A and B are shown apart, each in its own frame.
Chain A
Amino acid sequence: MGQWAGYLQLILDGAVVTIQLTLMGSALALVMAFIAGLGRLSRIAPLRWLATAYIEFFRGTSIFVQLFWAYFVLPLFGFSLTPLQAGVLALGLNVGAYGAEVVRGAIRSIGKEQYEACIALNLTRWQGLRKIILPQAFVLMLPTFGNNAIELLKASAVVSLISLTDMTFQAQVVRAQTGNTLVPFLTILLLYFVIASVISFAIRGLERYLTRGLDGIRS
């Protein structure tokens, strides 16, 4: 029984790395989603092209290929990354590209009258966006952002293949040392599911908090 406690400790250490990756990756993804999403709605054509190229590129190739490219090919150009940096970079940029489409869709779904009201109140474009449009659009983005965060958590298992000691990597270590396959893999499946449930619970709570007092106003 004592040895299992040790192995469980190993897997929990991996869980910490997985959670770190998910949090840092989500933070980068959120920033990239807003930059690229707003970029696609920009009035400046080159900015739109740049944002579209970024989105199509990162949605078009798989996270796995991007991660390997970041870890094995970038050093050849003189950017050496630790596995953790490569993982956060690839996960954040990949999920950010998906998030950008969410940002764009939510902003475009805000009614025309809101934009007209901004003009009528003589707000600048930036003021209108920040004070009128985004607060309404952000609530619409939240549920999909939650799903994207769960996708990011799931994709983070891939980093075990570039020797980052996340939960999946540690499960493989336990498998190699004990020869037992069922226990380590079932344990991490359950842990992944628990983390995913926590994310969707937190997002639902945040959504309720941001829409408090808006019942019946929001369609």
Chain B
Amino acid sequence: MEWDWAFVVQILPTLIEGVKITIIATLLGSVLAAIVGLVIAIVRRSKNRLISMPMGFVAEFIRGTPLLVQLYFIFYVLPDLGITLSPLVAGVIGLGLHYGTYTAEVYRAGIDNVARGQWEAAKACNLSPLQTWTQIIMPQALPPMIPALANYFIAMFKETPLLSAITVLELMNQARSIANYNYRYIEPITMVGAFFLVISIVSVIGLRWLERRYGKID
């Protein structure tokens, strides 16, 4: 079977439709993951073990199970409990929750990296816990986290094809429907691969820049 450029040109508009959904899902998923991760990280730091322990277990559980199954769970089980979500919303929630457990670890490392003296100084200055977090800790903890967070957002971007399994019409799903309709697999699937490869190479260059700009934490 041969590579057919005319066919590539013909399917390109449909693939671009898919790219849009892929990008939307990644962006929304990233925002949700950033928020969920912060919540998990702060709750896990709680001194009350009745709060921190269950949260730790839930985070470990989500991180230890496949995203695909979690997506099925959100998409198929929640409607039975009376919560019906559109495929895209279900996908974004799945991505955000799953990667939130990863970003939580980034936040944890970043917060631990802030020197103890800063906490003590905040206490000495009689700042409230909220002021301590927003004025002292987070401004110092955030910049070194940026490259690590970006790394997970790129990883999330590469996982968006999973959303096709819950009928989101993103890039992979468009490619599969083209492939099944025309019975030509080589061009659509290869195009999807090439697209992800290009974006990922570009983002690696961007990541290097972020690391130089903000430093990095391990």
**Residues of A in contact with B (beta carbons under 8 Å apart):** 56-57, 59-62, 64-66, 68-69, 72-73, 76, 150, 153-158, 160-161, 168, 171-172, 175, 181-182, 185-186, 188-189, 192-193, 196-197
For chain B, what secondary structure do more than half of its interface residues adopt (helix, strand, loop), or is it mixed?
helix
Answer whether A168 and B65 are a contact pair too, CB < 8 Å, given A65-B189, A73-B185, A76-B185.
no
Beyond A61-B200, A189-B65, 13 additional contacts (C-beta under 8 Å) are A61-B197, A62-B158, A64-B162, A65-B196, A69-B190, A73-B190, A76-B1, A154-B65, A171-B72, A172-B72, A189-B70, A192-B65, A196-B64
A150 contacts across to B, CB distance below 8 A: 64
Partner of A158, one of B64, B162, B179, B193: B162
Partner of B64, one of A68, A73, A197: A197
Q: B207: shortest Cβ distance to chain A, in Å?
A: 12
A56 contacts across to B, CB distance below 8 A: 201, 204
Do B196 and A157 touch (CB < 8 A)?
no
Q: Which of B39-47, B73-81, B109-117, B134-142 makes up part of the contact surface?
A: B73-81
Do B65 and A62 touch (CB < 8 A)?
no
A60 contacts across to B, CB distance below 8 A: 158, 196-197, 200-201, 204
A182 contacts across to B, CB distance below 8 A: 77, 80
Answer whether A59 and B200 are a contact pair too, CB < 8 Å, given A64-B162, A65-B192, A69-B190.
yes
Do A62 and B64 touch (CB < 8 A)?
no
B72 contacts across to A, CB distance below 8 A: 168, 171-172, 185
Partner of B65, one of A68, A69, A172, A196: A196
Do B185 and A72 touch (CB < 8 A)?
yes
Interface check B17, CB cutoff 8 A: no
B190 contacts across to A, CB distance below 8 A: 69, 73
A188 contacts across to B, CB distance below 8 A: 69
Interface check B161, CB cutoff 8 A: yes
Answer whether A66 and B193 are a contact pair too, CB < 8 Å, given A171-B69, A181-B76.
yes
B172 contacts across to A, CB distance below 8 A: 64-65, 68
CA distance A181 to B76 in the complex (A): 6
Partner of A64, one of B73, B80, B161, B185: B161
Interface check B145, CB cutoff 8 A: no
Q: List 24 A-B contacts (CB under 8 A).
A: A60-B196, A61-B158, A61-B200, A62-B158, A62-B196, A65-B172, A65-B196, A68-B176, A69-B190, A72-B179, A73-B190, A76-B185, A150-B64, A154-B65, A155-B66, A158-B66, A158-B162, A171-B69, A171-B72, A172-B72, A181-B77, A186-B77, A192-B66, A192-B69
Scan residues 175-218 of chain B and give those whose CB is less than 8 A from a CB of chain A: 176, 179, 185-186, 189-190, 192-193, 196-197, 200-201, 204
B160 contacts across to A, CB distance below 8 A: 62
Q: B104: shortest Cβ distance to chain A, in Å?
A: 15
